[in-house]
Amino acid sequence: MTHSITRALQDPWSGGSDPRWRSCSLSESLFPQDICEDPRLFVDGISSHDLHQGQVGNCWFVAACSSLASRESLWQKVIPDWKEQEWDPEKPHAYAGIFHFHFWRFGEWVDVVIDDRLPTVNSQLIYCHSNSCNEFWCALVEKAYAKLAGCYQALDGGNTADALVDFTGGVSEPIDLTEGNFASDEAKRNQLFERVLKVHSRGGLISASIKVVTAADMEVRLACGLVKGHAYAITDVRKVRLGHGLLAFFKSEKLDMIRLRNPWGEREWNGPWSDTSEEWQKVSKGEREKMGVTVQDDGEFWMTFEDVCRYFTDIIKCRLMNTSYLSIHKTWEEARLHGAWTRHEDPQHNRSGGCINHKDTFFQNPQYIFDVKKPEDEVLICIQQRPQQSTRQQGKGENLAIGFDIYKVEENRQYRMHRLQPRAASSIYINSRSVFLRTDQPQGRYVIIPTTFEPGCTGEFLLRVFTDVPSSCRELRLDEPPRTCWSSLCGYPQLVTQVQVLGAAGLKDSPTGANSYVIIKCEGDSVRSTVQKGTSAPEYDLKGIFYRKKLGQPITVQIWNYRVLKDEFLGQVHLQANPDDLQALHTLHLQARGRRQLSDLPGTVAVHVLSSSTLTAV
């Protein structure tokens, strides 16, 4: 079980600069009132059409801004109190020349204050700018974001997913269209479209891109009009009704469509359903007006979702995680924990062990435990490393290659893992700011181990876990039960035993089969499985871990048949579980309680036992 690393250098969201600006030379800084006569924050409101990419290679950022502009509730978070910040021609003396913006960084909204001097060449803005020469919201947001990153140079190449998260506090989920084979698999494509439509309809932000393999591919324009290595904002997602009049209504034929925007404000898709294509004759005039279809080279265009999956290689969905109990939509429970990879000479205190490739140090990483409390639950997990701020002298801060593994552990585990257990899921490892994983898991207890790819790397991270019901997620800090002043009186554990009940066979049957469950008991502690219905040969796969003080007292495994009024005892076995017991897997006949004979109760139980006098062996 090893991991490989994906380099962000291959990330399709990095983007390059607009080639029209590459001839720009020496720049200066001017105030908006020196650039135009009537500077405004907004001119005729805010729109995704306002933005045009400038000299810096941040199409990824401009694409995210285009998506942001279409969501009033979101941009008003990024641009707070915008009416108070707007220039007021009637009160020129009230203008202070500063603006403040909010960005979500590392678990909290950060207020960034800037002045209004902007880089120019020949009195023209050289970075992000608006269609209207006197509209400055996008240039000012870009300057605030550059300040947050360290400098404008830090925006030259980046990740759309990061900007989307910084604008919303949401969770970005990358979709690899090529690897998922969505272009040729209609069922998978339809399912993905429904998910994209749901994210869009619930206020999320989405972007698309075409991956580049070599530097020579960057910003190469394809015959279809699309640009490789370039981030496009998805500004609308809808099912478009085909046909005209009542016939279209009753026929109810719809097409899955996506509207995209090139941050350059030009260079559009020229295939089917492009601005001037004949396919639009299949859609009524009223439907086209409702969709906002225009015939002009403004960088915005429509495509079928099938063509999106055929020509684009990646989609980023930034989901807004609904945690409000008052909402009619699905409500998520979020656990948010801050952690760090730190170096220490003592292995017990070292927390920078690297990925599973480095088995000697892997378990020295931070560990977090959470519970899936439903029979099966969708779990969303995201780790985000603290961004490295850039400076002009030092250049751009490099991200660590990060990822995480999830292991299914004992139902009653309270201390750190020290031995490999079944891996439930695993993320990719990439030198990106954040890594996301969506996984469906059965009921039980799990441990997340976030790591850097190589051991010895240090940094801070934020772990976010989303489940349908509270997961009780927390960090495991202790390796074994702590010694206290009561340990000398009450005793300290001398043995650790892991018991796994795999299943049973030949249980006492009934017309509908046994509805059985198993309980493992040891020195006052116990774990219980879910009920396995209608079978005399159930598979429990129940694990418990016990730190034992009374070595002469056996561990008891009991099987019960669930009944509405009173549960029926089906049998039990006792396990000595000594460290020198080398037969780890036991198949044992069920015994009765008291003095009854072994033959009195039918059935066997399969049990896996691991014991050690070293408390950190499991």
Q: What are the φ and ψ backbone dihedral angles of 425, each rounded to 5 degrees?
A: -165, 165
Helix (H) or strand (E) holding 4: none
Q: Which residues pair with 51 in a beta bridge?
A: 130
Identify the CA nearest to 307 among candidates 216, 214, 232, 204. Answer: 232
- Number of Cβ within 10 Å of residue 345's Cβ equals 6
Task: Return d(Cα 28, Cα 89) in angstroms, integer.
Answer: 26
Distances (CA, A) of 95 to 33, 40, 92, 299, 617: 12, 12, 6, 35, 67
In the structure encoding, which two tokens stand for residue 237, read together?
Answer: 């997602």
Q: Which residues pair with 495 in a beta bridge?
A: 548
- Number of Cβ within 10 Å of residue 207's Cβ equals 29
Distances (CA, A) of 497 to 559, 598, 614: 20, 26, 10
Identify the CA nearest to 137 among candidates 223, 58, 44, 225. Answer: 44
Distances (CA, A) of 324 to 202, 321, 332: 13, 9, 8
Helix (H) or strand (E) holding 353: none
Name the amino acid, one letter, at 44: D
Identify the CA nearest to 351 among candidates 337, 362, 338, 335. Answer: 362
SS3 per residue for 190-226: HHHHHHHHHHHHCCCEEEEECCCCCHHHCCCECCCCC
Identify the CA nearest to 369 among candidates 313, 403, 402, 415. Answer: 415
Point out the residues that are catalytic. 59, 230, 262
In the structure encoding, which two tokens stand for residue 340, read together?
Answer: 């760090």
Helix (H) or strand (E) holding 251: helix 245-251
DSSP assignment of 374-423 equals EEEEEEEEEEEEPPPPPBTTTBSPPPPPEEEEEEEE-TT--S---S---E
SS3 per residue for 465-487: EEECCCCCCEEECCCCCCCCCCH
Task: Return d(Cα 89, Cα 316) in angstroms, integer.
Answer: 41
- Using only C-alpha atoms, the chain has a radius of gyration, in whole angstroms, of 30
Task: Return d(Cα 349, Cα 453) in angstroms, integer.
Answer: 19
Please return the burial class of 198, using the count of CB atoms within 10 Å of its CB with bins 0-12, 13-18 and 19+.
Answer: middle
